[in-house]
A and B are shown apart, each in its own frame.
Chain A
Amino acid sequence: MKNMKNNLDEMQEAKLLQIEHNGCWLAFWGLLAAIVVELFVFGVENMRYFIGEWVVFMALCVYLGEACLRNGIWDRRLKADRKTNAIVSLIAGAAAGLIFAAISLVRYHSVPGAIATFALLFVFVGLCCFLALSLTAKEYRKKLAQLESEGDENAE
């Protein structure tokens, strides 16, 4: 197919990008919410019932992460430093711990079991998240340094 003419001018293009941006984040949070609800309904052992949502969600995450990394972009507000990564990991660990503790409590009606689930998930997800963020931040800094030095006439 030949390149089709763009019917939009620059302002309409900017508005369409904003609409697509909003749609992307709506899909991201909507899929995450759907997966959490399905975890409650079906349980982890019946993941086959919501594997589609999970695959699409992971594809979206991988695409966003990889595209940002390739372009030397981290986040609008958060910095790629150890302290910020640790705080984000703590929040992620606590969120995962709370969700799985609630699922455990609903299914097995055991408070000690739910507390143990929370502790386990909090530590495991928190550590995994911190490790993943640290490795990604390292790659990000490397890519940013490369992009910043490209085409710099003073560096020649």
Chain B
Amino acid sequence: MAKNLKLKAARAGHDLSQQELAELVGVSRQTINAIEKGEYNPTIKLCRAICRALGTTLNDLFWEENEE
């Protein structure tokens, strides 16, 4: 699974650390880290929570054009 650089950029754009975003969406820091590194595929529920916390959409953060 590819790294989720869009999530990392959006989080940095909001000046949030992984820990702060994790607290906002109610998960552990290691889960946010694993999503950004592409090591964990989050559920749609968590994707939506992250999008809400960062004021963005699923398309912006989780859609990949050339996904295999």
Q: Which residues of A contact B31 (CB under 8 A)?
A: 9-12
Q: In the complex, what's the smallest C-beta–C-beta distance from A132 to chain B, in angstroms?
A: 37
Would you list 10 pairs from A and B whose C-beta atoms are within 8 A, ordered by A residue?
A9-B31, A10-B27, A10-B43, A10-B45, A11-B27, A11-B30, A11-B34, A11-B42, A12-B30, A14-B40
Q: Give chain A interface residues in 1-24, CB to chain B under 8 Å.
A: 9-12, 14
Q: Which residues of A contact B26 (CB under 8 A)?
A: 9
- Interchain CA distance A12-B26 in the complex, whole Å: 13
Q: Give chain B interface residues in 7-54, CB to chain A under 8 Å.
A: 26-28, 30-31, 34, 40, 42-43, 45-46
Q: How large is the interface on B (under 10, 10 to 19, 20 to 34, 35 or more residues)?
A: 10 to 19
- Give the A-binding residues of B (Cβ under 8 A): 26-28, 30-31, 34, 40, 42-43, 45-46
- Interchain CA distance A11-B40 in the complex, whole Å: 7
Nearest B residue (CB) for A15 = B40
Q: Which residues of B contact A9 (CB under 8 A)?
A: 26-28, 31
- Interchain CA distance A14-B31 in the complex, whole Å: 11
- Interchain CA distance A10-B31 in the complex, whole Å: 8
Q: In the complex, what's the smallest C-beta–C-beta distance from A149 to chain B, in angstroms?
A: 26
Most chain B Cβ neighbours within 10 Å, of A9, A11, A12, A14: A11
Q: Which residues of B contact A12 (CB under 8 A)?
A: 28, 30-31
Q: In the complex, what's the smallest C-beta–C-beta distance from A14 to chain B, in angstroms?
A: 8
Q: Which residues of B contact A11 (CB under 8 A)?
A: 27-28, 30-31, 34, 40, 42
- Interchain CA distance A30-B42 in the complex, whole Å: 34
- Interchain CA distance A1-B66 in the complex, whole Å: 50
Q: In the complex, what's the smallest C-beta–C-beta distance from B60 to chain A, in angstroms?
A: 21
Q: Give chain A interface residues in 67-100, CB to chain B under 8 Å.
A: none
Nearest A residue (CB) for B46 = A10
Most chain A Cβ neighbours within 10 Å, of B26, B30, B31: B31
Q: In the complex, what's the smallest C-beta–C-beta distance from A35 to chain B, in angstroms?
A: 38
Nearest B residue (CB) for A8 = B28
